[in-house]
Amino acid sequence: MSFERIKEKLNILADAAKYDISCSSSGSKRVNKGGLGNSDGVGICHSYTEDGRCVSLLKILLTNYCIFDCAYCVTRKSNDVKRAAFKIEEVVSLTMNFYRRNYIEGLFLSSGIFKSPDYTMERLVQVAKKLRLEENFNGYIHLKSIPGASDELMREAGLYADRLSVNIEIPTISGLKLLAPDKKHEDFIKPMEAVKDAIQIYQSEKKIIRSIPKYAPAGQSTQMIVGATGESDRDVMYSAAYYYKKFKMKRVYYSGYIPVANDSRLPALGSPVPLLRENRLYQTDWLLRFYGFDIRELLNEENQNLDLDIDPKLSWALRNRALFPLDINKADKLLLARVPGIGLKSVYKIIEARKYRKLNWEHLKKIGLAFNRAKYFVICDSGDYEKRDLSSLQIKGMILHNSTSKFREDYGIQLNLFTS
């Protein structure tokens, strides 16, 4: 292959793929039988770009030619950008050669939609098939499900891919109508449904016949753009909770909108990316998936948007003071996980350690909980605890006063209210 030409294609097609933020390579299991590569459930980030994002997979588009004209997308038909297309063998060769040098965990292949959804999906599947069957490649493969692709192709895709994903992109149906008039909401839902069903069928058959092949062992994921259509955090997270539940998503990703067009329907070019908001949404996502929270506890009619100046767990705790303080040496595991400043690793250590002795502040600080936040919400085997009757607003002010955040300048004005 011609090196210069490949280099140019790689530039164009990696640049166009980078707005898909998922780079996860975890959750799959493939054993290497004399070929190349494996995956043992733990993802590896081989590098990090200057924006601080993990580089785990070779993330490229097969082509950025596209018949659709979605306003939020850099690859939209009407955008005047350089176009390119990889040949199937070129993607295979890049993947193999990058993998052999330990640059990547595998391939994340997406594509603009050329000719038709099925035509596009078929080519994505061919790449994965060639890697698995001809190259004996057992690394990680993430394929995009192309909205509108047939169920048969989706079924085949899952036989070679570890993960499949279709990006919902716009969290609300009204937003989708406004920004992507060519696409129908059902077109996104159909492949999700197909993948979810296939995963269930293969899993139940595998219980009976062990030789049944794996189907998308790392499940499926989706992505939503935030800040493009004026949606609330509640809109975003209620959608996310729906996709987790309905389609058994492994992950929902939130992508702060990066202006890629001058379009009156969207934030102007040069508008800042809502990074802090994105961060709060991820924190909320974690609280849902690992900390036992119900989304309605965190976002509801009275609280439609997350606080920007404090994290969602602290916000929740400040609204629910009646539950606190908890006794570190007695409280239930699920309740401990709800204390601001105590993460799941600390919960585990506390639960274990308190079997052997009563824990005091010294123990807890060494174990590594965030004392500055936790001290207002727990008591332990030390006489020295917060005895003042503080209001939630006072506690918030004190916590903010004693902490630093890289986002501080974003909410500096609000902070002054508490410290003055």
Partner 1 sequence: MKTQHVLIYDGSFKGFLTLIFTVFEEKIEVSAISPEESVQSDMFSSPTFITTDLEKYNRVKLGLKKVLSASADKQLYFAFLSEIKGIEMQLLHYIKEAFRNKNFSSTDFGNPVVLKINQVSKMVSREKHRMEAFVRFQLTKEDIFFATIEPDFNVLPLILKHFESRYADQKWIIYDLKRNFGLFYNLQKTSYINLEFNRDHKEKSDKSSIYKHCEKEFQQLWQEYFSSTNIKSRKNMKLHLQHVPKRYWKYLTEKSSWQN
Instruction: Return the number of the residue (120 or 279) whose C-beta is nearest partner 1.
Output: 279
Within 341-360, the residues that bind partner 1 by CB under 8 A are 349-350, 352-357, 359
Task: Give the binding range for partner 1 (CB under 8 A) out of 28-36, 115-123, 125-133, 215-223.
Answer: 28-36
Binding mask 249-288 for partner 1 (x = CB under 8 A): -------x-x-------------xx-x-------------
Burial state string for 51-77 with b = 16 or more CB within 10 A and e = fewer than 16? eeebebbbbbbbbbbbebbbbbbbbbe
Query: Based on the number of CB atoms within 10 Å of its own CB, is 409 exposed (0-12), middle (13-18) or buried (19 or more)?
Result: exposed
Residues pairing with 141 in the sheet: 107
User: Which residue bears the tokens 């379009």?
Assistant: 263
Q: Is 44 in the site for partner 1 (CB under 8 A)?
A: yes
Residue among 37, 175, 312, 340 that touches partner 1 (CB under 8 A)? 37
Query: What are 23's two structure tokens?
Result: 């780079």
- DSSP letter, residue 67: S
Q: Is 58 in the site for partner 1 (CB under 8 A)?
A: yes
- DSSP letter, residue 144: E
- DSSP letter, residue 323: G
Distances (CA, A) of 286 to 54, 252, 255, 376, 379: 18, 10, 15, 22, 25
Q: Is 136 in the site for partner 1 (CB under 8 A)?
A: yes
Query: What are 46's two structure tokens?
Result: 């081989």
Report yes or no: 105 and 23 within 8 Å, Cβ to Cβ: no
Residue among 29, 48, 186, 268 that touches partner 1 (CB under 8 A)? 48
Task: Give the binding range for partner 1 (CB under 8 A) out of 91-99, 158-166, 214-222, 330-338.
Answer: 91-99
Single-letter amino acid, residue 395 = I
Task: Give the binding range for partner 1 (CB under 8 A) out of 37-45, 217-225, 297-305, 410-418.
Answer: 37-45
Q: Is 396 in the site for partner 1 (CB under 8 A)?
A: no
Binding mask 2-21 for partner 1 (x = CB under 8 A): -x--xx--xx--xx-xxx--
From first CA to last CA, the distance across the chain in angstroms is 66
Give Cα 305 distance to the centre of its chain. 19
Q: What beta strand segments (E) does 299-398 contain?
A: 326-327, 378-379
Task: Give the binding range for partner 1 (CB under 8 A) out of 26-34, 111-119, 124-132, 192-200.
Answer: 26-34
Binding mask 362-391 for partner 1 (x = CB under 8 A): -x--xx------------------------
Residue among 5, 29, 49, 246 that touches partner 1 (CB under 8 A)? 49
Distances (CA, A) of 185 to 168, 172, 266: 8, 9, 20
Q: Is 74 in the site for partner 1 (CB under 8 A)?
A: no
The site for partner 1, by CB under 8 A, has a size of: 58
CA gap 63, 328 in Å, rounded: 55
Within 105-134, the residues that bind partner 1 by CB under 8 A are none
Site for partner 1, rule CB under 8 A: 3, 6-7, 10-11, 14-15, 17-19, 31-32, 34-38, 42, 44-55, 58-59, 94, 97-98, 100-103, 136, 256, 258, 272-273, 275, 349-350, 352-357, 359, 363, 366-367, 406
